[in-house]
Structure 1
Amino acid sequence: MAERGRFVTFEGIDGSGKSTQARRLADTLRAAGGEVVLTREPGGSPGAEEIRRLLVEGPPERWSAETEILLFTAARRDHLEKTVLPALARGATVISDRFADSTRVYQGAARGELRGLVDALHAQVIGHEPDLTFILDMDPDASLARGLARQSGEDRFEEFGAGFQARLRDGFRALASEFPGRCRLIDAARPEAEIAAEIAKLCGAEAP
């Protein structure tokens, strides 16, 4: 039986460089010979990708925070069943661009006082935490400008504006303090290669 793999997640405000750093870490670990599954939330499985479009496209007022929590939890459950748990069971490293911490911050704090609902659903439906979480931290105005400049069509949360992004940053920083055993706060206002090298070192790897 394969030893259980490692579950690593990347969190942070929109435009902080999570996706880039998740890809770089995956490349580094693959170069070292390990099996790596690079995935994302919302999404990461066929069903969850369908739900993703409902969440990240359209006007900001499309859903209430409570409805978002239910949609994110449904997508996460499918992602967990179809992608994350099977990969961990065969000993792979799973690297996910966002997981439950994003719901704790986006819907549980920045959009209202709904952390209790988020935690209750997580405990009953998800029940899994990452082994290691990197929280990429940077100025919310700079991060927002970067995120909007992508013009990805998935700008629903960026369109909540700068005040929302500032609340998100505060929420993620508070989360790093709440879970110091698994969360590492990373200064993301630095050159991409420098950030990648720090993350690789914290993972026990060496960036190329």
Structure 2
Amino acid sequence: MSTDPESRPETAPVAAEVAEPGPVAEPALPKRRIGLVFLVAVLAFAADLVTKIIVVSTLERHEPIPVLGGLVYFQLVRNGGAAFSIATGMTWILAIIAAAVVIAIIWLAGRLRSVGWAIGLGLVLAGAFGNLVDRIFRAPSPFQGHVVDFVSVFAPNGEAWPIFNVADSCICVGGVLIVLLSLLGKEYDGRSTKDSKSPGKTTVKAEENQ
């Protein structure tokens, strides 16, 4: 048996290389959605305005008209309160609140990067502006005008559910969408509060020379 040191197999020590985590690049922000906000708002406001014009011209002093076998009734009601006839008699206060909501949404629109938030706020903007126009321009007087409502579900005269209009529906749908997005952690600027950054992984390379 050879005792020559050069003839003995050499075992190289295990080399451990630890990769230090580098800086995490910030994800690119989505594009701004201000155009989508106003597109949704204009379309929804147009729907509200057109339906009110038709209702005022055709349902004045008319009996409730059943639709879908009585599931829905169309009838003209002039509402001096908020959505679903809430706060009746406080028209001027509601007009100021609606104006403040419109201004706040317009101010926020330039910062929006979320499609969902843009749609939700566009609907709320249309609803608030639609009813605000009624309160400013309709009888009995400026900022005391009554909102035109015309949809009564399940029963006439708001017996099963308060009578509402397209603007009220926009406010409710937009509000529910915004609340849902908030619960899911979706921010108006396109970020998600539930996103977690994965820490850099440590890579260990072992080499053996035999």
More strand by share: 1
Same fold (TM over 0.5): no
TM-score, normalised by the number of residues in structure 1 = 0.29
TM-score (norm 2): 0.29
Query: Which has the larger helix fraction?
Result: 1
